[in-house]
Chains A and B, each alone.
Chain A
Amino acid sequence: MTKKVTKAGSISRRRLLTTASAGAALAVSPFRINLLQAEEAPIKIGFPVPLTGPYGAEAQDQVRAGQLAVAQFNDAGGLNGRKAELVVRDDKLNPGEAATRTLELVEKERVNFVVGSLSAAVQLAINNVTKERGVIFNSISQSDAINEAADFSKYTFHEALNPHMTSGAVGRYAFAKFGKKVAFLTADYAYGHEMVRGFLEVGKEFNIENLGDIRHPLGTTDFSTLLPRLQALKPDILCISNFGRDQQIALKQATDFGIKKSIQIIAPLLSHASRVAAGPQAFEGVVGGCSFYWGIEDKFASTKAFNDAFRKMYDGKLPTDYGALGYGGVRTVLEAVKGAGSVETDKVVAAQESLKYDYYKGPQYYRKCDHQSVQSVLVIKSKSKDMKNESDVFEVLSTEEPNEKYLRTCEALGHKS
């Protein structure tokens, strides 16, 4: 028995040595590159998004459009034949879950890049994991904190708008038009807080009066106990800063309470998927912002091309705002990979920093200090009649053109100029 084991052991040791020396010989030979490439796995992009839970509708669109960006990259030949692949995970809108899934994506799936998230809080959890491990993360949901020096790293990119830009654009439009007395109904987490801060900041220019801010937990299904109070404040504008299903229910119930009769409702972001899920009645007349609306295809060839490709891949469906972000987030990383000619992190970071791109919504670029994508913000209003198709849900009221003056300065964010 003992003898046998020893024998087997010695054979395997000999085999190991042979293999190792062959490997070493290969490593120094010029053939190794080709050989490695043939064996190379696809370029993997980890994609953690909240597929289940209150933001599920939006997250599914992110995945669809992300898949489109990957398909286009692969159809165009990939990186010298090397294909890309999207590895989708459900982060359940929970920072802890997202951190675990991201760690898995990085350590087990060995993803080259991470794109995703749909929450101001969750993306910071993902970013913590990726920046520690030196993996590029392109965030496709709103956050101000992710731009700030404390959370930023050179591996962190932010393709989405941030609350400062969004609330700025919506505030400049609404405060000039609808009145100065403003009440807030806010989802009680980073997204809501940052939006309100942004509105109050831009509100200073218009001397708005803050009548009060009522906060509700994420995932609230009944706002009936909050609405009488807001109504009693008698504001000109009710600013509802929440998202996904919370937004759908809040707008529906505010409509039921007759709030729209005397008060203009605004929202920092009007989500396309939520508008479709909640129906025209709930969103009627509400003004808000967005990063993308398919209807700007008359204005930009890139939008038209993106819409057409999306339609073709998904039976005539049109992309939504968050879908477009999924596309933009994945496409910018893959274009940077092409530009760098490699998946090596530092090279891709440099290539992505130098992108001046127009992939789906007009010109954009990443600001050097915080990797925030400088881009336009659309101010939109929900339609309830004259809709040409099921995606014809918004009317673009105005566009704030891309300009660094609408971002907080690099110094204010704590970056060394």
Chain B
Amino acid sequence: MAGLSFDLIALQLFAGLALGAIYVLFAIGLSLIFGMLTVVNFAHGAFYMVGAYVGLYLISIGGNFWICLVAVPIAIGLFGLAVERVLIRPLYGRGIDYPLLLTFGLSYVMVECVRIAFGKTGYPFDTPEVLQGAVDIGVGYFPLYRLFVIGATAVVLLALWLFLEKTSFGLIIRAGARDPQIVRVLGVDVSRVWLIVFGIGTAIAGFAGLLAAPLQGVIPEMGGTILAEAFVVTVVGGMGSIGGAVLAGLLVGVVVSMTSLFAPEMAKVSIFALMAIVLIVRPQGFFGRAGLMS
């Protein structure tokens, strides 16, 4: 196909970064929970999906998208707190596969519950009116809503960074991730720290689900595909590293986008090819700490 222009390549690059922002938003919650708790949260996709459904429900009873942006993360975060307290907490210290299996099962239960409550078929989720349409970004037209998603992702990242790096509670979280034993000896209630970290991680998942809803509609299985992609992002970035997840998410987006331009049928495979290459060259990922899994 002819017609490769500078504008197209620039637009394609931008589309890749925009897609990457969605991966980043989804993966940081996963990465946060793994990095601090060493819990591989297989239910992350289910929290994401429930976030979209909670948004759908709130709008159906008269709410609007802007209220949802606040209410959905709170609701999913509270749900996450309950899950941690009741289901995850008894499994700490039993090895990495216990919470993994638990959350895997939990994701099935959550998807099935949503199917029962809302039906198996999907629902439309309209883009909020002020964010509809495409705007000229200099190299071509790009959907306004996707620009908004990039902005929202940046805000979440900034807030998370400030929280972890600049608050005393963030300091405790980081210390707890490095050596829970010492933190406990110092008189800090580590289980409370973990509870809150899990809540924050799931809140971000719910927020990501809400943001994804206007892009693709809402369906019970929507968390499935993105979970696989998000694991690639966390592995490439380094398990548990938030900075790594950001870099890897954007990189995966760009790789998918550029492959789509030249060999669209390879786009899906390119994600996994990238992961394979990174794992060969740098098994712990970009910023991963070696030995976290053991």
Q: Does B63 count as interface, using CB distance less than 8 angstroms?
A: no
Asked whether A279 and B257 contact (CB < 8 A) given A56-B121, A214-B264, the answer is no
Asked whether A215 and B3 contact (CB < 8 A) given A51-B120, A225-B12, A257-B143, the answer is no
Asked whether A228 and B140 contact (CB < 8 A) given A217-B265, A249-B216, the answer is yes
| 8 Å CB contact of B122 from A57, A188, A227 | A57
Task: State the CA gap A275–B186 with chains docked (Å).
Answer: 60
**B125-149: which have CB < 8 Å to A?**
126-127, 132-134, 140-143, 145-146
> Per-residue CB proximity of B211-222 to A under 8 Å, as 1/0?
000011101011
Contact B264 A53 (CB under 8 A): no
List the B side residues contacting A57 at CB < 8 Å.
Answer: 120-122
Contact B215 A277 (CB under 8 A): no
| 8 Å CB contact of A228 from B15, B22, B215, B219 | B15
Q: How large is the interface on A (under 10, 10 to 19, 20 to 34, 35 or more residues)?
A: 35 or more
Contact A225 B124 (CB under 8 A): no
| 8 Å CB contact of B143 from A53, A249, A256 | A256
Chain B: CB-nearest residue to A234: B3
Contact B124 A277 (CB under 8 A): yes
B141 CB to nearest A CB, Å: 5
> Per-residue CB proximity of A214-258 to B under 8 Å, as 1/0?
111101111011111101110000000000010011001100111
List the A side residues contacting B124 at CB < 8 Å.
Answer: 277-279, 281-282
B18, B141, B216, B268 pick with most chain A CB within 10 angstroms: B216
Task: State the CA gap A228–B14 with chains docked (Å).
Answer: 10
Contact A231 B216 (CB under 8 A): no
Chain B: CB-nearest residue to A232: B8
Contact A258 B141 (CB under 8 A): yes
B20 CB to nearest A CB, Å: 11
Task: State the CA gap A256–B5 with chains docked (Å).
Answer: 22
Q: Does B123 count as interface, using CB distance less than 8 angstroms?
A: yes
Q: Does A72 count as interface, using CB distance less than 8 angstroms?
A: no
Task: State the CA gap A21–B3 with chains docked (Å).
Answer: 83
Contact B3 A232 (CB under 8 A): yes
Q: Does A87 count as interface, using CB distance less than 8 angstroms?
A: no
| 8 Å CB contact of A258 from B22, B133, B225, B226 | B133
B104 CB to nearest A CB, Å: 17
Contact A211 B1 (CB under 8 A): yes
**B1-24: which have CB < 8 Å to A?**
1, 3, 5, 7-8, 11-12, 15-16, 18-19, 22
Task: State the CA gap A256–B11 with chains docked (Å).
Answer: 15
Contact A257 B134 (CB under 8 A): yes
Residues of A within 8 A of B (CB): 51-53, 56-57, 60, 188, 211-212, 214-217, 219-222, 224-229, 231-233, 245, 248-249, 252-253, 256-258, 273, 276-279, 281-282
Closest 3 CB pairs of A and B: A279-B124, A258-B134, A225-B260
Show 18 A/B contacts (Cβ-Cβ < 8 Å), sorted by A. A215-B265, A216-B264, A216-B265, A217-B267, A221-B226, A222-B215, A225-B260, A228-B12, A228-B15, A229-B12, A256-B132, A256-B133, A256-B134, A257-B141, A257-B142, A277-B219, A279-B217, A282-B124
